[in-house]
Amino acid sequence: MNTNNKARKLVAHRGDNTNYPENSYAALEAALKAGALNIEFDIQVNADGALLVFHDTDFKRVANLDVSIFDLSNDQIRALSAHLPDRFGDKFLPTQVSCLDEILGLLQRYPQVHAFIEVKRESLARWGLVEVLDKILEALRGFESQVTIISFSSSAIKYIQQHSKFRSGFVFYQYNECTRNLATILQPDYLICAYTIFPGKDKLWQGNWQWMVYSINDLELMKQLYLRDEISLIETDNISLMLQSLREKNI
C-alpha cells in the first residue's frame, strides 16, 4: 500500500489541533497543506443563526471568557479570539471563529479531500433540529460528494437520511447492545466512537457501515489499529506527525 492510500485512513480531528487552535481556519488549512485527505470539524449556531465552526457552547476553554455562543451576535463573535490562551499563550492572538462558508471555500481548493462535519447536539436542542439541519443542508448544497454529516443525535441522522443525499455518521459513547440495535435501525454510512470503548480483539459489529475511531495520537497505537481491517478511518489530533510517520514508512 502506498503512502497516499495509507493517508486515506487518517482524519484530522478539528484540523491540525496539536499545532494550531482547534477548528480554526489555520488548523484546517495546515492539515490540508500537510497532506490530510480527511478533516473533521464541528458546527454550532449563534444568536444570529450563523453556522460557526466551533465545538463548545461557550468561550471558557478557547478564550477564558464565560459567555455562551448562543447569546452572541455575529459582530460580538468577530470581536472575540478563540486562540486557546491556556495552551498557546498569545501565539495565535487573534484567532477569529470561522463561519461554515469560509471553510467550505477552503475545501473547494482541495477537491480530493473529504470533510466530516459534526452537528452539535447543543445547537439542535437550543434552536430546533429541523431549523438547524435545514440551514446546514442548504449551506452544504453542492458538496454532497465531499462531505459526510455526523452527529451524536440519532434524530439528526434520520433527518439527514430522509432529506438529503449526504452520507451520515452516527457518533456514540457506549459500545453496548442498545447502541448496536440503534445502529441497525439507523444504518448510517459510518459508526464513530472513541478507541477506548472498543471490545478488545473481538470483531466489531458487522453492517453496511464503515468504522471510524478517535482520537489516536500515539504512533504505536496507530500501528495496532492499522492492522484491524474493519477500521476504515482513524482520527487524530496530530495529523502532521502521523503523516510524517507514513512518509517515513514507520507505520
Q: pTM for the whole thing?
A: 0.96
Domains in the chain and their CATH numbers?
A: 3-57+100-247 (3.20.20.190)
Regions of the chain where pLDDT drops below 70:
1-5, 249-251
The answer for residues whose C-beta is within 8 angstroms of residue 160's C-beta and 6 or more apart is: 133, 137, 149, 151, 166, 168
What integer pLDDT is reported at residue 2 of this predicted model? 52
Q: Which amino acid is at 85?
A: P
What integer pLDDT is reported at residue 1 of this predicted model? 46
Long-range CB pairs of 157-163, under 8 A, 24+ apart, other chains included? 157/186, 157/188, 158/186, 159/129, 159/130, 159/133, 160/133, 161/186, 161/188, 163/133, 163/134, 163/137
